[in-house]
Amino acid sequence: MGNKKFFFSILIAGILGGIVTIAGTKYFFPDKNYVFVDKNTPAKNINYSNPKYPFNLTKAADAGTKVVVHIRAEESAQKARKRLRKDPWGGYFPDIFDFGNNHEFYRMKGGGSGVIYSKDGYIITNNHVVDFADDILVTLPDKREYKARKIGTDPSTDLAVIKIDETNLPVVPLADSDKAKLGEWVVAVGNPFDYLTSSVTAGIISAIGRNINIIRDDHALEEFIQTDAAVNPGNSGGALLDANGNLLGITSAIATPTGSYAGYSFAIPSNLMKKVADKIIENGGDLSLKPSLGVSAATIDKEIKKKLNLKLDSGVYIDEVMTGSSAEFAGILPGDIIVGADGKEIRKFEDLREILNFVKIGDILNFKIFRDNKYINLRVKLKQSL
């Protein structure tokens, strides 16, 4: 009998202890969740990556490092002598620290990057990397070295094309830069500081169509892709690629108070690059020798429309036509509104300037003009700037 009382006492104590434990847990840890696992359920691998946001950028890095070359550019002795002759002082004043021991004149030199554009050796780089040079050495990613010749330059977009004598070179497909989106992942490949060759950095597109007034040219055309991929001196002329390894642009500049990367870099978009590069390959030479339409014009906005009582909401209003200009010979008049050129719509002055940027002296453009409440077509043969 005593044993039974003892057994029931232990049982009742155990039950009361369990109740107190559960009540205490609920009181002191009210938010605690307990999960009971079925041991017979097999474990599953879960993929948290989203294919729309490819954080693995190895494909782009691999593509870029195969086509980005290292460029060393130097002014030849002959060219340096010509530059010295143009010196207003005639180059007659020697370096005061020379002490007569070194009579070698200064030859400009520099380095940068380039991107293989075609299998037969055309390479795109920045104008500022090679504009001063006529001795150009290209080193491929596999360390082969070649003397390169300059095919042509375009100071207005800071682009240049050089060529080496080689075939079967690797190339990457071009992206449609007009479809680039803010926040899109990009990879920059270049040769920062001239010795960290084939360096890869990544970031996102932070602005599109950026004009930073960095190109010192009367016909400057800036519509940079801005990114936060780290870029430094030596990256100029390198590649900006999308996450799939397509060439999205040519690295050109950085915004910095120090001379080194400070958060933002800028690339010439691939669509603009292709137009310029193809034009240089076709014609060669310096594309800064451009034809001129010979007009004073402005984009139609609300203020101009109201002030001049115009019928159109967009287009380029011709305020003045220069005497002897291409426009005058074609019959363009003050008060005309240009709304199209060679089948492309002209909504603002920048549209017209972009078309004129890719024509040469002697080309003929077909303009669509709004005059006296009706549309007319005029053929304009482009002449050199007056």
Of the candidates 139, 158, 121, 145, the residue with the CA atom closest to the CA atom of residue 68: 139
Residue whose token pair is 């030199």: 109
Indicate if 128 belongs to the active site.
yes
CB burial of residue 93 (10 Å; 0-12, 13-18, 19+): exposed
Residue 246: phi, psi to the nearest 5? Answer: -90, 145
Indicate if 219 belongs to the active site.
no
Indicate if 372 belongs to the active site.
no
Of the candidates 138, 135, 133, the residue with the CA atom closest to the CA atom of residue 122: 138
Distance CA 229, CA 241 (A): 11
Count the neighbouring beta carbons within 10 Å of the beta carbon of residue 19: 10
Distance CA 19, CA 28 (A): 14
Residue 145: phi, psi to the nearest 5? Answer: -115, 145
Residue 190: phi, psi to the nearest 5? Answer: -170, -165
Residue whose token pair is 């034009």: 279
Of the candidates 190, 196, 165, 150, the residue with the CA atom closest to the CA atom of residue 69: 190
| End-to-end CA gap in the chain | 126
Catalytic residue among 236, 252, 270, 326: 236
Catalytic residue among 113, 154, 158, 252: 158
Catalytic residue among 128, 156, 177, 325: 128
Catalytic residue annotation: 128, 158, 236
